[in-house]
A and B are shown apart, each in its own frame.
Chain A
Amino acid sequence: MWDNIKDFASEFFVTGDPLIYGADVAIVLTVVAIVSALTYFKKWKWLWREWLTTVDHKRIGIMYVIASLLMLFRGGVDALLMRTQLAMPELDFLEPEHYNAIFTTHGVIMILFMAMPLMFGLFNLVVPLQIGARDVAYPFLNSVSFWLFFMGAMLFNMSFVIGGSPDAGWLSYPPLSETMFSPGPGQDFYIWGIQISGIGSLMTGINFIVTILKMRAPGMRLMKMPMFTWSTLSSCLTIILAFPILTVTLALLFIDRYLGAHFFTLDGGGNPMMYINLIWMWGHPEVYIVVLPAFGIFSEIVATFSKKRLFGYKSMVFALMSISFFSFFTWAHHFFTMGSGANVNAFFAVTTMLIAIPTGVKVFNWLFTMYRGRLSFPTPMMWTIAFIPCFVVGGMTGVLLSVAPADFQFHNSYFLIAHFHQVLIGGVAFGFFAGLYYWWPKVFGFTLHEGIGKWAFWFWNIGFYVCFMPQYVLGLMGMTRRMNTYGWDRGWWELNLTSTIGGFLMGIGFLFQVWQILHSIKFFKKAPADPWNGRTLEWTIPSPAPLYNFATLPRVSERDPFWEEKQRREKGILPPPPPPLEPIHMPRNSGVPFVMSAFWFVAGFGFVEHWTWMAIAGLVGVAASMMVHSFNYNTDYYIPVDEIKRTEAAAAKGAV
Chain B
Amino acid sequence: MAAKLRRIAAVLSLVAMAALTAGCSDKIVVLNPKGEVGKQQLDLIVISTLLCLIVIVPVLIMTFVIVWRYRQKSNSKAKYRPEWEHNSKLEMIWWGIPIVIVAILGIVTVRYTHILEPSKPLASDKEPIVIQVTSLDWKWLFQYPDQKIATVNYVQFPANVPVRFELTSDAPMNSFWIPQLGGQIYTMSGMAMKLHLIADEPGEYMGMGANFSGKDFAKMQFTAKATTTEEFDAWVKDVKRATPKLTDEGYEQLAKPGVVMGTMEFSDIPDGLFDRIVTKYGTSHEGHSRPSESSEGSEHPEHPEHSGHSGHEGMDMDGVESAVEPTQVSAHQH
Q: Is A638 an interface residue (CB 8 A)?
A: no
Contact flags A302-318 to B (C-beta < 8 A → 1, else 0): 00001111111111000
- In the complex, chain B residues whose CB is within 8 Å of the CB of A413: 210
Complexed CA–CA distance, A377 and B285 (Å): 65
Interface residues of A in 358-373 (CB under 8 A from B): 360-361, 363-365, 367-368, 370-373
A375–B72 contact, CB under 8 A?
A: yes
Q: Of the 9-residue stretches A11-19, A205-213, A385-393, A434-442, which lies at the interface with chain B?
A: A385-393
Taking a contact as CB atoms closer than 8 A, the residue among A181, A311, A345 that contacts B86 in the complex is: A311
Interface residues of B in 298-334 (CB under 8 A from A): 312-315, 328, 331-332
- In the complex, chain A residues whose CB is within 8 Å of the CB of B42: 409
- In the complex, chain A residues whose CB is within 8 Å of the CB of B213: 176
A340–B315 contact, CB under 8 A?
A: yes
Interface residues of A in 85-129 (CB under 8 A from B): 96-97, 100
A356–B91 contact, CB under 8 A?
A: no
Complexed CA–CA distance, A385 and B65 (Å): 12
Complexed CA–CA distance, A168 and B172 (Å): 10
Q: Is A478 an interface residue (CB 8 A)?
A: yes
Complexed CA–CA distance, A314 and B86 (Å): 9
Taking a contact as CB atoms closer than 8 A, the residue among A315, A337, A396, A481 that contacts B212 in the complex is: A481
- In the complex, chain B residues whose CB is within 8 Å of the CB of A526: none
Contact flags B233-273 to A (C-beta < 8 A → 1, else 0): 00000000000000000000000000000000000000000
Name the residue on A nearest B55 (C-beta). Answer: A360
Name the residue on A nearest B67 (C-beta). Answer: A385
- In the complex, chain A residues whose CB is within 8 Å of the CB of B190: 266
Complexed CA–CA distance, A340 and B193 (Å): 10
Complexed CA–CA distance, A469 and B182 (Å): 23
Cβ of A118 to closest chain B Cβ, rounded Å: 26
> Assuming A176-B212, A361-B94, A374-B80, is B113 touching A404 (CB within 8 A)?
yes
Complexed CA–CA distance, A385 and B60 (Å): 11
Complexed CA–CA distance, A306 and B85 (Å): 12
Taking a contact as CB atoms closer than 8 A, the residue among B27, B40, B211 that contacts A412 in the complex is: B211
Q: Of the 9-residue stretches B99-107, B128-136, B153-161, which lies at the interface with chain A?
A: B99-107
B175–A375 contact, CB under 8 A?
A: no
Taking a contact as CB atoms closer than 8 A, the residue among B78, B102, B108, B183 that contacts A409 in the complex is: B183
Cβ of A561 to closest chain B Cβ, rounded Å: 15
Name the residue on B nearest A377 (C-beta). Answer: B71
Cβ of B177 to closest chain A Cβ, rounded Å: 7
Q: Is A577 an interface residue (CB 8 A)?
A: no
Taking a contact as CB atoms closer than 8 A, the residue among A175, A314, A477 that contacts B172 in the complex is: A175
Cβ of A95 to closest chain B Cβ, rounded Å: 9
B63–A339 contact, CB under 8 A?
A: no
Interface residues of A in 259-280 (CB under 8 A from B): 262, 266-269, 271-273
Contact flags A459-477 to B (C-beta < 8 A → 1, else 0): 0000000000110010111
A412–B175 contact, CB under 8 A?
A: yes
Contact flags B99-126 to A (C-beta < 8 A → 1, else 0): 1001001101110111111110000000
Name the residue on B nearest A485 (C-beta). Answer: B218
Complexed CA–CA distance, A367 and B28 (Å): 35
Question: Is the interface on chain A under 10, 10 to 19, 20 to 34, or 35 or more residues?
Answer: 35 or more
Question: Is the interface on chain B under 10, 10 to 19, 20 to 34, or 35 or more residues?
Answer: 35 or more
A267–B313 contact, CB under 8 A?
A: no
Q: Is A354 an interface residue (CB 8 A)?
A: yes
Complexed CA–CA distance, A155 and B295 (Å): 49
- In the complex, chain B residues whose CB is within 8 Å of the CB of A649: none
- In the complex, chain B residues whose CB is within 8 Å of the CB of A196: none
Complexed CA–CA distance, A97 and B214 (Å): 8
- In the complex, chain A residues whose CB is within 8 Å of the CB of B226: none
B183–A408 contact, CB under 8 A?
A: yes
Complexed CA–CA distance, A469 and B76 (Å): 36
Q: Is B229 an interface residue (CB 8 A)?
A: no
How many residue-residue contacts, CB under 8 A, span A and B? Answer: 290
- In the complex, chain B residues whose CB is within 8 Å of the CB of A38: none
- In the complex, chain A residues whose CB is within 8 Å of the CB of B27: 477, 490-492
- In the complex, chain A residues whose CB is within 8 Å of the CB of B206: 478, 490
Complexed CA–CA distance, A271 and B49 (Å): 36
Name the residue on A nearest B111 (C-beta). Answer: A346
- In the complex, chain B residues whose CB is within 8 Å of the CB of A491: 24, 27
- In the complex, chain A residues whose CB is within 8 Å of the CB of B80: 307-308, 372-374
- In the complex, chain B residues whose CB is within 8 Å of the CB of A268: 284-286
B90–A368 contact, CB under 8 A?
A: yes
Of A354, A388, A478, most B-chain CB atoms within 10 Å: A478
B109–A350 contact, CB under 8 A?
A: yes
Q: Is A357 an interface residue (CB 8 A)?
A: yes
Cβ of A332 to closest chain B Cβ, rounded Å: 11
Name the residue on B nearest A99 (C-beta). Answer: B218
B281–A339 contact, CB under 8 A?
A: no
Name the residue on B nearest A479 (C-beta). Answer: B208
A313–B218 contact, CB under 8 A?
A: no
Complexed CA–CA distance, A72 and B183 (Å): 35
Cβ of B197 to closest chain A Cβ, rounded Å: 11
Interface residues of B in 1-58 (CB under 8 A from A): 16, 20-21, 24, 27-31, 38, 40-42, 44-45, 48-49, 52-53, 55-56
Q: Is A486 an interface residue (CB 8 A)?
A: yes
> Assuming A315-B91, A491-B24, is B179 touching A409 (CB within 8 A)?
yes
Cβ of B118 to closest chain A Cβ, rounded Å: 6
> Assuming A357-B98, A406-B44, is B81 touching A337 (CB within 8 A)?
no
A367–B66 contact, CB under 8 A?
A: yes
Q: Is A482 an interface residue (CB 8 A)?
A: yes
Name the residue on A nearest B328 (C-beta). Answer: A269
A175–B210 contact, CB under 8 A?
A: no
Complexed CA–CA distance, A315 and B194 (Å): 45
A483–B82 contact, CB under 8 A?
A: no
Complexed CA–CA distance, A339 and B16 (Å): 31
Cβ of A173 to closest chain B Cβ, rounded Å: 7
Q: Is A83 an interface residue (CB 8 A)?
A: no
B45–A312 contact, CB under 8 A?
A: no
Q: Is A403 an interface residue (CB 8 A)?
A: yes
Interface residues of A in 303-343 (CB under 8 A from B): 306-315, 335, 337-342
Q: Is B184 an interface residue (CB 8 A)?
A: yes
Q: Is A353 an interface residue (CB 8 A)?
A: yes
A96–B312 contact, CB under 8 A?
A: no
> Assuming A312-B85, A389-B63, A483-B218, is B48 touching A403 (CB within 8 A)?
yes
Cβ of B200 to closest chain A Cβ, rounded Å: 16
A494–B21 contact, CB under 8 A?
A: yes
Complexed CA–CA distance, A399 and B314 (Å): 23
Q: Is B189 an interface residue (CB 8 A)?
A: yes
Taking a contact as CB atoms closer than 8 A, the residue among A266, A373, A396, A470 that contacts B70 in the complex is: A373
Complexed CA–CA distance, A469 and B188 (Å): 32
Name the residue on B nearest A469 (C-beta). Answer: B20
Name the residue on A nearest B215 (C-beta). Answer: A96
B210–A480 contact, CB under 8 A?
A: yes
The 22 sampled A-B contact pairs (Cβ below 8 Å) are: A176-B173, A181-B171, A262-B285, A307-B82, A312-B86, A339-B118, A339-B315, A349-B110, A353-B102, A353-B105, A360-B97, A372-B84, A374-B76, A388-B63, A403-B105, A403-B112, A409-B42, A409-B183, A411-B183, A473-B16, A481-B212, A485-B218
Q: Report, nearest first, the 9 A-B pairs whose CB atoms are least far apart.
A: A408-B183, A341-B314, A309-B85, A405-B116, A176-B172, A364-B94, A360-B98, A482-B212, A483-B218
B residues lining the A interface (CB < 8 Å): 16, 20-21, 24, 27-31, 38, 40-42, 44-45, 48-49, 52-53, 55-56, 59-60, 62-63, 66-67, 70-72, 76, 78-87, 90-91, 94-95, 97-99, 102, 105-106, 108-110, 112-119, 171-173, 175, 177, 179, 182-186, 188-190, 193-194, 206, 208-218, 281-282, 284-286, 312-315, 328, 331-332
Q: A181-B172, A409-B182 known; 6 other A-B pairs, CB under 8 Å?
A: A312-B86, A338-B188, A339-B185, A353-B102, A408-B41, A408-B183
A residues lining the B interface (CB < 8 Å): 96-97, 100, 168-169, 173, 175-176, 181, 262, 266-269, 271-273, 306-315, 335, 337-342, 344-346, 349-350, 353-354, 356-357, 360-361, 363-365, 367-368, 370-377, 385, 388-389, 392-393, 396, 399-400, 402-413, 469-470, 473, 475-478, 480-486, 490-492, 494-495
